[in-house]
Structure 1
């Protein structure tokens, strides 16, 4: 007997009802994107290495899946959609002066150095608004994320928002070198604020900077923390970052979604290309963010076009996990009708199936095995979310079973005529 092959670590098969629910979830999210005026785009699964090189600011090279083409060029499986969208926008919309709204669905691939049960292939859905540097664009993206979550039935979630310019203003004022900046960012990302204080003390940073960083752990909460943060903002850059967040919040009130937003000014961007507002979405039932996004005003420029932009990605795998654990029903309509037939009744079964399919009804033809009872096919239909089963017996009698409520009806040849 041949040895069964399993999937590599970090990837998995998705099939039957789970796959159907996942596709149904993606379909509902895409409708929301379209309602906001976003247009579909598909970019290649693999790109030249340069699209994700270190200068772009995406994930470290060691976590990329790399391979070579016949000419010796280094190619990578995309770890992140945004650089691909930026590359495509710079190429396809070079002359476009007005904002461009794009949305996508697809897989990303990250070869996590420490695996710890994380998927290495994940499905992401996202939207990118290119060519608009306004505060209104920032607010639109947050509103779109929130409406997407509400549409699929998620009510217990929060978008945590910050602006990378605020933290950057503190780092610049402290006059830290590159190594010190990385260390401080790492400690803040891990919310080790005591560690930040100790480290700044060890490298003899000026007192005002140490005091400012010492208050970072207090800058998490509602909109009122923005006013508190102004007291430690060291320069106009920091103050402007906070004012922009205040303006965004006022616009979110017009959308009626401000209650889903909190602020965490210690948050730093996952990717190096973020330049302004950044945000992450969290809910119960998953250990990671279900949404990640931010503004990247200089990324498209690296591919040949100046275009201030903002975008986000929804991690579908994490979102599904959260919905299941919160017992939120993913609407997945029972679609198939099973036409079960005995030996000698193929002609009638095919005719009935053709009629159903002409009426746009999904129909599955199944020949009944002599050694299986009807109950086995009823259970099969329920397991695979069929709605009805129609059994054509050898005698010509037809049994119709509603697999949702269990109702049965039997027709003989006289009834059918």
Structure 2
């Protein structure tokens, strides 16, 4: 039997590693003061479309309920969280710090790092529009990557207002600017140069160079040769603040300004960023500021956040041979003949399997070796499978240190 395209099974060992990674991310979220929230796996389609726009809304899995209402499996978590805050938490003290780890669904062509069902983890800081909020979000993203085992992951940052200002400065009409932004985001230098050659206006000749500008503080200075200060000061000030704070924490080498970074989602209004590692040709993590999104649901307030694909993190770790070690869940005892014994061991924290096929010592030892269980318990005696050492069950259960239970 074949699985639906873009989905996968998780074997116990694989799922244990995934859960261990998710636990490390939850630890970062908690240390930054974020509280976990959950939303339904499906929403009304008009909610999804209000958040993502028509184009990305088309990537949703949709169905119609018995009342004729069009529903959609959530394709990402930021829009449902925006809907949740707008309808249930608008009276809560601001800013809100919310986090989540949840499955999402997108109808797109499956490939490595791009599935139709995948797990998205992230944080949203809602109700504060300051540069301090932007900095917090960036630092939490870096610490999450560190906790995941990717301390060399780097982040590219941009600001939506900067690119928009450049396109206005060179005199592009809005519909042409949208086309050029698409070319910039794809780094299509051939098409950009062809556009500049066809346009002929000297001011547009900056566009191919804009697609290649990437670096630190120096690229911000280069940008100002083409655009007057007042047009881009807000965006540049925010990027400078982020670079400075990262440098103060010895993380400056991990962040670069990239003016061609333009995320797909329509709701981004300011800071945008993505994280990468050398082994993968796609981003691990992405986010930014979306000050207009909650207004689509009747609650105008600024917000900023990021999401990471848990499966993408696992791919990166697997390439490095560094899949997180899962908590040991192997059984410690194989018990025959008495449920009360198994219960007593479990009450003391031991992991116990109940023997189902016979109670002969030799049979139990063979099964224990097959399943890598270190001890068997039969007829009130605990037997070490490796060396044959025998202890009474009372001795094991009365051990106050717990050493005999481990």
TM over 0.5: yes
The residue number in structure 1 matching 2:195 is 199
Decide whether the 8 Å contact of 1:230 with 1:242 is kept in 2. Answer: no
CA gap of 1:148–1:23, structure 2 versus 1, over 3 A, is: same
Tell me, what secondary structure is at the counterpart of 1:105? strand
> In structure 2, which of residues 246, 249, 253 is the aligned counterpart of residue 259 of structure 1?
253
1:61 deviates by 3.1
1:54·1:60 contact (CA, 8 Å) conserved in 2? no
Match 2:115 to one of 101, 110, 119: 119
Structure 1: distance between partners of 2:49 and 2:375: 58
Rounded to whole Å, the distance in 2 between the matches of 1:11 and 1:415 is 49
- Asked if structure 2 preserves the Cα contact closer than 8 Å seen for 1:284 and 1:326, the reply is no
Mapped pair 1:108 → 2:104: yes
Contact 1:90 1:304 in 2 (8 A): yes
Q: Say whether 1:315 aligns with 2:288.
A: no
- Say if 1:102 and 1:127, in contact at 8 Å, map to a contact too: yes
Note if contact 1:80-1:108 (Cα within 8 Å) is conserved in structure 2.
yes
**2:94 is equivalent to residue 98 of structure 1:** yes
Find out whether 1:189 has 2:185 as its counterpart. yes
Q: Tell me whether 1:354 sits opposite 2:347 in the alignment.
A: no
> Compared with structure 1, are the counterparts of its residues 55 and 29 closer, same or farther at alpha carbon in structure 2 (3 Å cutoff)?
closer
State the match for 1:390 in structure 2. 375
Worse-matched range after superposition: 214-223 or 98-107 = 214-223
Q: Secondary structure at the match of 1:337?
A: coil
1:34 to 30, 33, 43: 30
Q: Distance in 2 between matches of 1:396 and 1:240?
A: 75
What is the SS of the residue equivalent to 1:233?
Answer: coil
Could you say if the C-alpha distance between residues 7 and 221 of structure 1 is closer, same or farther in structure 2, counting changes exceeding 3 Å?
Answer: same
Is 1:209 paired with 2:204?
Answer: yes
> Which of residues 9, 13, 18 in structure 2 aligns to 1:17?
13
Contact 2:148 2:313 (8 Å CA) reproduced: no
Given the alignment, which residue of 60, 64, 73 partners 1:77? Answer: 73
1:288 equivalent in alignment to 2:272: no
Q: Does 1:408 find its partner at 2:387?
A: yes
* Alignment of 1:335 onto 2:335: no
- The equivalent residue for 1:384 is none
Moved more, 18-27 or 242-251: 242-251
Shift of 1:178: 4.5
The alpha-carbon deviation at position 251 of structure 1 amounts to: 2.3
What CA distance in whole angstroms lies between the structure 2 residues aligned with 1:412 and 1:89?
A: 59
**Higher mean C-alpha displacement, 312-321 vs 114-123:** 114-123
Residues 58/95 of structure 1: CA separation in 2 closer, same or farther (3 Å cut): farther
SS of the residue corresponding to residue 247 of structure 1 reads helix
Partner of 1:404: none
Alpha-carbon distance change, 304 to 120 in structure 1, aligned in 2, over 3 angstroms? same
How far residue 12 of structure 1 moved from its aligned partner, in angstroms, is 0.8
Change (3 A) 1:58 1:278: farther
The 1:194/1:368 distance shift into structure 2, 3 A limit, reads same
| Greater mean deviation of Cα atoms: 252-261 or 262-271 | 252-261
1:47 equivalent to 2:47? Answer: no
Contiguous gaps of at least 5 residues in structure 2: 397-406
CA separation in 2, counterparts of 1:68 and 1:217? 43
Does the alignment pair 1:89 with 2:102?
Answer: no
Question: 1:59, CA displacement in angstroms?
Answer: 5.3
In 1: Cα distance, 2:55 partner to 2:29 partner: 26
The answer on whether the counterparts of 2:216 and 2:257 sit within 8 Å (CA) in structure 1 is yes
- State the 1:416 CA deviation: 5.5
Q: Kindly state the Cα deviation for residue 97 of structure 1 after the two structures are TM-superposed.
A: 5.1
From 355, 362, 369, give the equivalent of 1:378: 369
1:137 to 2:137 alignment: no
Change beyond 3 A, Cα 1:367–1:283: same
Cα separation, 1, equivalents of 2:267 and 2:140: 22
How much has 1:71 moved relative to structure 2?
A: 1.1
**Residue 307 of structure 1: CA displacement?**
0.8
